[in-house]
Amino acid sequence: MNGSLISLTQKGLSFLVLTLVTGVSPLAANAQVKLSSPPPVKLVQAADKVDEEGLKKEAAEVIKLLSEENYGRVRTMLNRELAIELTTDQIGEIWANLIELTGPVTKVVGYKVILTINADLVVVDTEFDDGTSDQFVVTFNKKGEIVGIDFPNVESIEEIAEIMVNSVAINDFARARGYLHPALKTEILPTRLQSSWQNIQRESGLYERIEEITVRPGSGVDEVDLVVVEAKFQKGIRQFLFIFDDNRRIVGVNLAE
């Protein structure tokens, strides 16, 4: 997946968007504009040779350890900066929330490695006890370190946007980051979200609450969904915009500068 980041400034809002090859259309801050779907993904191979079997093996180990509830060992496999921010209890909570709805993983169907310029992704196709199937995505940086584990999203896009805002508000930046598209994870570690949130509060005062959440679903032509969160700060209302792909992963957000 050839992912990159661009920073858009519209009506005073800094907006971070994942662009796939050619990018997504710019957004107006009032969220009235119709969103265009991201263009088809084109895979761009990295120049250096990658040990694909090694990546698959490490991704398989992550899923195995999660299934065994060995969250401490999972944490030791993460990039150091991510491991500092993401506790063993947090990993366990995320896993427990998933299998409470799906039941445990019953089978790993297969692995697919996607090599990109900035990161290498291992997509793990799995089946669950409730009969459903879904994917985990383990993201590696070019040093071979795990910088993200994407769990299947069981929440709605409205719930995800609410969780993300409330998570950064209580300094749980690792959980908030978990909802980002894997390609964004290579650029946005928890410390970057923390810095952005601190800047927002310096400008707007302390965060108080969410006032309103509006979902603008994509049409038959526009399959990209937009969620607008209006949040109350000491100095007034601030608007956060989240763009979701069809897997309910965030591909654009103005919460990270």
Mean pLDDT across the chain: 80
Residue 3 has pLDDT above 60, yes or no: no
What number of other Cβ atoms are within 10 A of residue 167's Cβ? 19
Residue 69 has pLDDT above 80, yes or no: yes
Contact 88, 77 (CB under 8 A): no
Where do the DSSP E strands lie in 93-235? 105-115, 120-128, 133-140, 146-150, 207-216, 225-233
How many angstroms separate the CA atoms of 71 and 92, rounded? 6
CATH level 3 topology of 3-43+176-253: Nuclear Transport Factor 2; Chain: A, (3.10.450)
Residue 29 has pLDDT above 50, yes or no: no
Q: Is the dihedral of CA 152, 170, 158, 196 positive or negative?
A: negative
- Main-chain phi, psi angles of 215, to 5 degrees: -105, 130
| Dihedral-angle region of residue 26 (phi above 0 means left; psi in -120 to 50 means alpha; beta otherwise) | beta
pLDDT given for residue 203 in this prediction: 94
pLDDT given for residue 213 in this prediction: 95
CA distances in angstroms from 80 to 89, 145, 205, listed in the order given: 17, 9, 31
Higher pLDDT, 91 or 5: 91
Architecture of domain 52-150: Roll (3.10)
- Taking only the tens place, the pLDDT of each residue in 170-207 is 999 988 988 998 888 878 888 999 999 999 999 999 99
pLDDT given for residue 245 in this prediction: 86
- Taking only the tens place, the pLDDT of each residue in 100-152 is 999 999 999 999 999 888 889 999 999 999 999 999 999 999 899 999 898 88
Terminal Cα-to-Cα distance of the chain (whole angstroms)? 22
Q: What percent of the chain has pLDDT over 70?
A: 78
- Main-chain phi, psi angles of 52, to 5 degrees: -65, -40
- Main-chain phi, psi angles of 245, to 5 degrees: -85, -175
Q: Which helix (H) or strand (E) holds 197?
A: helix 190-204
For the whole model, what pTM was predicted?
A: 0.68
Q: Indicate the SS3 state at residue 185.
A: helix
Contact 232, 211 (CB under 8 A): yes
How many angstroms separate the CA atoms of 213 and 159, rounded? 9
Please give the single-letter amino acid code of residue 83.
Answer: A
How many angstroms separate the CA atoms of 92 and 131, rounded? 22
How many angstroms separate the CA atoms of 42 and 32, rounded? 29
Q: Which helix (H) or strand (E) holds 252?
A: strand 250-253
Q: What percent of the chain has pLDDT over 90?
A: 54
> How large is the C-alpha radius of gyration of the chain?
18
